[in-house]
Structure 1
Amino acid sequence: MDFLLDAYFYPYLPIELDAETKKDINQKAVRLIQVADWFCKYQSPLNMWKNHPSFLAGEILFFVLCALTFCHAWRHGGRYLYVWIGICIHALNVENLCYWIPDMDNFWQAQGILTFFGARAPLYILLGIYHMFDYTAYVMIQRLRLPWWAEGPAVGLCAVMLDFPYDIMGIKEVWWTWHDTDPNIYDRFYWVPWNSFYFHASFACSFVWILNLSRKYIVDDIYDWKKFPREFLCAFLAGTGAFWLGTIQFALFYHPAHDFFKVHSEITSILFLSFYVVIVWSVDRQSGNPGPARSGNRWWFDELACAVALEYLFFMTLVVIGQPSQIVAEGLHQAVGPCNYTQKVQTPTGLVLQKKMFLCADNYDEGYFDFKCLPGGKLKMPDDGSPLDWYAICGTDYENRAEYIVIVWGACCLFGYIFYNLASWSGETPVIPAKVYGPPRKKPETRGVNPLFPNQPEKIIEPKSTPKGKSPGRKSATAPPTSASPKQLRSRSNKKTD
């Protein structure tokens, strides 16, 4: 930095700076570069295509899916656009809190084209995953015309159905890594923590609950664009409050059962999702007058239907042609260090659990990556013995690819059919009534009033029309004779008799 400033900055200043001033400027410039580097890191797509092609393809896919959700929100406008904005706030809030709260810091994303917040959040997470899962689920459930309190669990279930193939294939393709010994994510399903499904369901549900409740008391039923501060406030409250309400849902069921009674996370997650299913199913069955919720169009297709189809087709293809054993994912991962260091994990119930502070390179249980592709097949640690958190890992091959194909294809086909019924055999996307502002209407023209008789309209005498082809000021040569008097008529009659 000193060389760059001395060569390209200081010589072009109109004044000469002393050494102390230059030193101070150099330090501030370095600090600015560090902040910019923390905020956003760039990686060449060519490098990603060489070492991690499936992740590059996944990023591009979710950019496209995010664009489709935005097109849908823009086309429908009004409150749908505010939902899309609220999900942006929700994504930023959840991701950053998960990185900054030590008890929840238990996963590390692969490095994307642009990665934010200290190399923790790829752009496709902030503008992709949350919009695809939560916005799509929200709009689909709107077509069912459920009560506002039942929409939350329904949206949570739809978010899990969209997340399911992504979770299974994403971890196998090393799109992220999990903490090795964190008790909250220790119980796995194809290396996916069971609590991941619990997380997506509860947080999406919480977002919808807060959004609906705030709109009930802050805004009117009719959308008014001039009251956009209120509309934005509702979206902001949902985006920032969903994390905390979702955490409460964890504290009410998962943590007491898991932390105190050692119930496996598989049991708590399945029961929690089943409870959501019962709520949605019972409310849908008890609807005495479903109305438009049953008026479907089997040929219906829009941006969100396209997004669901693209996501499922992508993962169905990836599980067949993907080569995870050839992946080299270099980036930020769980720090590797001494194997005997532990740290506390504070749970919402007040119980304190334990997890290892560092990944033990010689003794870990994460079967989706290893170090075989590195020189010597072993991770090289710093000479000073300090922990290492930026390193390369290698993907592993399928133990049974056919099993992955069955579960991914089965889930995509089953969930795709459910979404087809939600979209094509339910009502249309609700149109939110909106107040329309336009130019002032012109007053209707009033007829003239006779001043002598105010109650009677003024008579308008129109001139008689002139026959076509005749001049009004000149008599025609073939004009009929004028009428005769009675005496002349009698005289003419006598002449005819003679």
Structure 2
Amino acid sequence: MEYNITGFGEERSEMNYTGLGNWLIGYMDPYDYWNAHPTYAICELDFLIGAGLMLVHAFTTGGRWPWLFFASMFHGFVVELIAYFAPFIANFWHAQGMITLFDRRMALYIAVLYPVFYYHASWASSKMKLKSQLVEYMAVGLMTVLVDIPYDITSVKYVHWIWHDTDPNIYDRHYWVPWNSYYFHLCFSTSFQFWFHSVRRWIDKSKDLDKWQAGSIKSEINALIAASLLGMPGGCLLFLPFYHPLHDFYGVPSEVTGVSILMAFTAIVWKFDRKSHRYEKPAKMNFVSKILFGHLLVHYLVFLVMVIFFNPEDAISIGLHQPIGNCNETEPVHTILKTLHRQKYLCLDNYDEKYYDFHCLPNATVPSDGSIWYTVCGTPFENRAEYLTVLSLITFIAYMVFTSFHFDYDENTEKLWKNTKLSKKNN
């Protein structure tokens, strides 16, 4: 089959730019973009629309919500740029979008991915009315993972990015998603929440402010900077209790450490949710809030629809991928406690990334040694029904969880609470 796509089959061993602007922003023709990677375009649109709705919701609602959006966006830039350019991290490569930033490493929608995750998670968790602020931060972490799961599982199958083949921190996978991806989102979002709320509270400690009431400009700017810069190191520290000692020294699989911390967080949040401040009916949603909640539902349906109507073997990703080279050359991977090692290059004779191959290229020709920019092709589902089952279950769970937080309440609890307040007032 012939593909009329600009750059199809092109190989590069280095990236040459005409100037800073060309390094900063790359552009792909919309026709080529859709023909090569339609699911990627749909995914990107989902996040960009969601971010736009959140901005409207944030400024309509006021308080700290606009600060949350921009703080999470800057936090995302910090995390992503360090992940791209720190040599001992650099373990994934995004596909090229219509606009791709920073040395062709960051698709435009990634700039708003963290706000979309954190805003939905924070908005839902705020309605839990938990008595412990720390536990609420953990609840945000769990909700972030819940929003992320369908995106992670589906996107990697449609080669929206590829992972490093032998990095020990992402070696253990679930539907080709590293277990540490969920661990990462859980810990980084929890750490971000801690800094975002704590710094504002420390600076404006003399003021009796609700968590979502805007404080002084000084406190909000400091909270934004702290959450942006410290969210990542704080999240890395949360890898210490479960992951690094067990994985790095005792060889415990990431599946076990990832599930362990998810279950621990869930148990703690569940316990505190039994005795929360949620006594009254949640505030009625206005039109903007309903539209934003609708986006959350659409977010899950987007990935479900992808699996139903699009074939992953038709996906073509032209761009930066793991460099190809000497199969025997290794490089260090520095963790908090220990230095591990991985193969420096993708070994075409022996790689284990079955979600992509080179079948769409003429004669299925593999890229040349030294290539850093080349074309990869998606691969068929081994069992599409299995993916549909998993994504349908996740969508159902998300629907039950988020509708419960946003809409459910117990009329008897509300009546009891009002009678208790009335009794105290009369006494």
TM-score of the superposition, structure 1-length normalised?
A: 0.75
Asked if the contact 2:316–2:376 (Cα under 8 Å) also holds between the matched residues in 1, the reply is yes
In structure 2, the residue matched to 1:159 is: 144
In structure 2, the residue matched to 1:109 is: 94
- After superposing the two structures, state which structure 1 stretch, 246-255 or 151-160, moved more: 246-255
Give the alignment's Cα RMSD to 1 decimal: 2.0
In structure 2, the residue matched to 1:242 is: 231
Deviation of residue 424 (structure 1)? Answer: 0.9
Q: Deviations over 1:63-114 (max 9, x none)?
A: 1111111111111112111111101111111001111222211000000111
Asked if the contact 2:157–2:355 (Cα under 8 Å) also holds between the matched residues in 1, the reply is yes
Map 1:344-423 → 2, pairs under 5 A: 344-349=332-337, 351-381=338-368, 387-423=370-406
In structure 2, the residue matched to 1:320 is: 308
1:50 and 2:35 aligned: yes
In structure 1, the residue matched to 2:184 is: 199
In structure 1, the residue matched to 2:69 is: 84
Deviation of residue 295 (structure 1)? Answer: 4.5
1:307 and 2:323 aligned: no
In structure 1, the residue matched to 2:84 is: 99
Give the SS at the match of 1:388: coil
Unaligned runs of 5+ in 2: 1-15, 411-427
In structure 1, the residue matched to 2:317 is: 329
Read off the aligned partner of 2:87 and give its amino acid letter.
P
Asked if the contact 1:207–1:239 (Cα under 8 Å) also holds between the matched residues in 2, the reply is yes
2:216 pairs with 227, 241, 260, which one?
Answer: 227
Q: Deviations over 1:392-448 (max 9, x none)?
A: 001101010000000011111111111110111159xxxxxxxxxxxxxxxxxxxxx
In structure 1, the residue matched to 2:196 is: 211
In structure 2, the residue matched to 1:145 is: 129
Asked if the contact 1:218–1:234 (Cα under 8 Å) also holds between the matched residues in 2, the reply is no
Deviation of residue 222 (structure 1)? Answer: 3.8
Read off the aligned partner of 1:310 and give its amino acid letter.
V
Map 1:13-52 → 2, pairs under 5 A: 33-52=18-37
Read off the aligned partner of 1:197 and give its amino acid letter.
Y
Give the SS at the match of 2:19: helix
- After superposing the two structures, state which structure 1 stretch, 105-114 or 302-311, moved more: 302-311
Q: Deviations over 1:306-336 (max 9, x none)?
A: 1211101111111111111111110000001
Deviation of residue 196 (structure 1)? Answer: 0.5
Output the CA distance in 2 between the equivalents of 1:57 and 1:135. Answer: 21
Output the CA distance in 1 between the equivalents of 2:54 and 2:409. Answer: 19
In structure 2, the residue matched to 1:267 is: 256
Deviation of residue 230 (structure 1)? Answer: 2.1
Read off the aligned partner of 1:141 and give its amino acid letter.
S
In structure 2, the residue matched to 1:253 is: 242
Deviant stretches of 4+, over 2 Å:
31-34, 219-227, 289-292, 294-301
TM-score of the superposition, structure 2-length normalised?
A: 0.87
- After superposing the two structures, state which structure 1 stretch, 155-164 or 227-236, moved more: 227-236
Give the direction of change, closer, same or farther, for the CA distance of 1:296–1:281 in structure 2 (3 Å limit).
Answer: farther
Q: Deviations over 1:358-403 (max 9, x none)?
A: 001121000000011112212242xxx5x11100001101010000
Output the CA distance in 1 between the equivalents of 2:367 and 2:62. Answer: 54
Output the CA distance in 1 between the equivalents of 2:278 and 2:399. Answer: 23
Read off the aligned partner of 2:247 and give its amino acid letter.
H
Give the SS at the match of 2:88: helix
- After superposing the two structures, state which structure 1 stretch, 246-255 or 163-172, moved more: 246-255
Give the direction of change, closer, same or farther, for the CA distance of 1:141–1:173 in structure 2 (3 Å limit).
Answer: same
In structure 2, the residue matched to 1:17 is: none
Q: Deviations over 1:110-136 (max 9, x none)?
A: 001111111111110112x21111111
Output the CA distance in 2 between the equivalents of 1:48 and 1:410. Answer: 31
Asked if the contact 1:165–1:411 (Cα under 8 Å) also holds between the matched residues in 2, the reply is yes
Give the SS at the match of 2:119: helix
Q: Tell me: higher relative CO, structure 1 or 2? Use CA pairs within 8 A at least 6 residues apart.
A: 2
Asked if the contact 1:143–1:426 (Cα under 8 Å) also holds between the matched residues in 2, the reply is no
Output the CA distance in 2 between the equivalents of 1:45 and 1:32. Answer: 21
Deviation of residue 227 (structure 1)? Answer: 2.8
